[in-house]
Structure 1
């Protein structure tokens, strides 16, 4: 349910469970974490792109798996920590709505490119769970504490244009042009040496 393509220094990991809105299981999260960890090793990815198949990036945790403890599993933090630690560029290419715990991997990426119509919502208040530990701080750093509270406490669903205006998304593209937009952002990194790009990334808090 996770597909990995490696081409010219770009690793593309695709959530491929569209019949379930790419709802995440423990096995899927573990595989994504393994990919991110491998991408950060010497000779790994210059650029890591995360995207999804179908019309939804991810509905978050699989509801059946949540009842089995997935909501509090450490695998979420393992994944987001591995993405955040990458020396190369990480891009979330959000082909559709991103919800719940799936927001964590998008927040951990350096850049977020979204298809038109891609919404954001994180229904932790409704579900009775806490967000993943690193998510509130990353969310607040991007859009400010009040807007983070609108999403996490007030349960607001944020549309594409608002997410772009707030800085949660960095670019919007038509669905058919989403991956082109992601690859365009990756081009300067691929044209530079790995050491140069990684050194610049280390300078940015």
Structure 2
């Protein structure tokens, strides 16, 4: 359900559970965390999904069993954020719930025109992952972060672009090509220079 390809320093991680809207089980989250932790020699990493939804967040049955409150979400987003390479979330569709943490932890986010963005954590009775509000606020500002987390706003791709939540909207058949294009200069640079620029931009 998690696919990994590695080619010339480019790691591509794909959520492949389209029949369940790429909802995440504990096993999938642990596997993603392991990959992100081990990707220290990656020059660039692209995170994407199959089907029309990037991820609906926690698997429903797993959430009922306590996954929604697990620290694995924070461990995953922390591992992605700590990577020295360029990280790109290529959002093939809607981003919802706990899956927000993965995308927020990436350096860049691009999406297809039909993507929607919502994080209905408050009405479900949970706090967001500890680092998510800060990362979200850094991208969209405090009022818009509250609009999403407290107002229950469901953003369209155009609104996400206008808010600064995503950097570009790309037609679906060109999404991965655009992600690879964005990684081109980083892959061509020495790791030290790429990491240095990333650190300067923090």
Mark yes or no: TM-score above 0.5.
yes
Which ranges of 4 or more aligned residues in structure 1 deviate by more than 2 Å? none
Superposition map of 1:45-60 within 5 A: 45-60=42-57
Q: What is the CA distance between 1:191 and its match in structure 2?
A: 1.1
SS at match of 1:126: coil
- Aligned equivalents of 1:53 and 1:126: distance in 2? 28
Q: Deviations over 1:38-79 (max 9, x none)?
A: 102xxx210011000101000000111011110111110110
Alignment RMSD = 0.6
- Aligned equivalents of 1:86 and 1:114: distance in 2? 22
Superposition map of 1:27-66 within 5 A: 27-40=27-40, 44-66=41-63
* Structure 1 unaligned regions, length at least 5: none
- Aligned equivalents of 2:61 and 2:51: distance in 1? 21
* Structure 2 unaligned regions, length at least 5: none
Q: Deviations over 1:104-151 (max 9, x none)?
A: 000000000101111100011221111111000000000000000000
Q: 2:102 aligns with which of 101, 105, 117?
A: 105
- Aligned equivalents of 1:74 and 1:136: distance in 2? 16
TM-score (norm 1): 0.97
Superposition map of 1:1-205 within 5 A: 1-40=1-40, 44-205=41-202
TM-score (norm 2): 0.99
Q: What is the CA distance between 1:8 and its match in structure 2?
A: 1.1
SS at match of 2:89: strand
